[in-house]
Amino acid sequence: MKRTITHLADGRELLYFDRRDDADRSTIDERELPPRPAASELRYDPLTEEWIAVAGHRQGRTFLPPASECPLCPSTPGHSTEIPSPAYDVVVFENRFPSFSAQLGEYSQVGGLSEVRPGIGRCEVVCFTSDHDSSFSELSADQVELVMEAWIDRTAELSAMPGVEQVFCFENRGAEIGITLTHPHGQIYAYPYVTPRTKLSLGAAERHRERTGRNLFADVLAAEREAGVRVIASNEHWTAFVPAAARWPVEIHIYPHRQVPDLGGLEAAERAAFGPLYTDVLRRLDGLFGVAMPYVAGWHQAPVNAGRDLSYAHLELFSVRRAPGKLKYLAGSESGMGAFVNDVLPEETAHLLRSVVTN
C-alpha cells in the first residue's frame, strides 16, 4: 500500500491510499475556496451530562448535487472536485463542513448551567471508491482491505491528536437516512469527549466484569454463537448476528472472534476475512426487500484514554426500513424518552436475512 499526503487549496489535508506504489498523486488543487470555518462550540447539558456540538456553518453544506457535480468523484477537465487526481483507489480528506476541527474561533459563555468550550477535534471523509455508481457491497475483497487500512491509519493518527478522546468510523447510506452525497463514502469523527453510547456500554462492561470476571462483549458474542438462531453469517474470524434486544427493525452486529480494543489490533488474516463476510451481509440487506437498503454502519472502538481493557472493537449496523415501502420513524417513545419499541422480532429478521440468496 502507498500512502500519499497532500493538501487542498484551503489547507485541508488529503490522503491517498493506493494499491500500486507507482501511483502519481502530484496533481494540485487549484480551486479558489473560502476560508475554513471555525470549530463548533460545545455546550454542556447538565440534565444528561452530555456535550452538544453547535455547528451553524454546516447549514451551508453541499446537498444532493447531480452526479455531474459530485464533489467526491475524481477531478476532470472543467470540473474540479475535492479530489484533484483524475483517478483514485481510496481517499481520505478533512471535511469542508466539519462538526469538530482545530480551527479556533471566538466563544463566549451562554449563562445558566451550560458550560461552553471549543469543539476541538477533526472530521474526515472517506471515499471508498472512485466509482460514483458503486456501493460498499460491490467492493472487491482487496478494496475492502484497502478501506480498512485507511480506517486503521486514521484511527491511530487521530487518536494521537491533542484533545481527541474517541474515534468513530462510520457510513451513512440512503436518502432515507438523510445523506447529502450519494457517492460511496463514509466519515470519521474524532471527538473531544467519550460519546454517550460508549459511556453506557463501558459502564455495563465494567459492572459485568465486577460480577463475573469476564468481558461483556466476549460473553455476548459467545452466547449468540451458541444460540445460533440470530447468527446471519460467520467465518473463521468473524460472526454477524442480529442482537437479541435489537432496537431497529434491521440491526446487525459484526464481531471479530478475538478481543481487540480497536481496528489497529486486528491481525492480517482477520483484516482479510472481514471484507467477504461484510459485503455478503450488505448484499443480503439489499436482497431483503428487493431495494437498496438505507443503513448506518459504524465501528465501535475503544476510547483513547479510558476503558481500553473493557472495550471490544466491533461493527454495528442498522436500518430504518421495516418493510417494503415502510420506514420506522422515531416517534414519541423513542425520540422523547429514548425507550425503543421494535415492530420486528430479531429472530425473524435473522431468518429472513439468512434466506436471502446472494451471488
Residue 110's pLDDT is what? 86
pLDDT over 90 at 112, yes or no = no
Sign for the pseudo-dihedral over CA of 16, 22, 23, 28:
positive
Model confidence at 10, in pLDDT bands (50, 70, 90)?
very high
The yes-or-no answer on residue 132 being catalytic is no
Cα 135 from Cα 117, distance rounded (Å)? 38
Residue 15's pLDDT is what? 98
Spell out the domains of the chain, with CATH numbers in brackets.
2-194 (3.30.428.10), 197-355 (3.30.428.10)
pTM: 0.96
Classify 44 as helix, strand or coil: strand
Mean pLDDT of 228-250: 98
Mean pLDDT of 16-32: 96
DSSP 8-state assignment for residue 69: G
Contacts 24+ apart (CB under 8 A), 71-74: 71/181, 72/125, 72/127, 72/132, 72/181, 72/183, 72/185, 73/130, 73/132, 73/183, 74/130
Cα 2 from Cα 21, distance rounded (Å)? 5
For the record, the C-alpha cell of 96 comes out as 469542508
pLDDT of 57-87, one tens digit each? 888 778 889 999 999 999 999 899 999 999 9
Residue 147's pLDDT is what? 98
Residue 155 · residue 167 · CB < 8 Å: yes
Residue 111's pLDDT is what? 84
Contacts 24+ apart (CB under 8 A), 1-4: 1/146, 1/149, 3/153
Sign for the pseudo-dihedral over CA of 223, 229, 231, 237:
positive
Backbone φ and ψ for 79, nearest 5 degrees, come out as -145, 100
Considering only CA atoms, which of 264, 245, 241, 269 is closest in space to residue 254? Answer: 241
Model confidence at 315, in pLDDT bands (50, 70, 90)?
very high
Catalytic residue among 185, 253, 300, 314: 185
Mean pLDDT of 42-46: 95
Residue 59's pLDDT is what? 81
pLDDT over 90 at 130, yes or no = yes
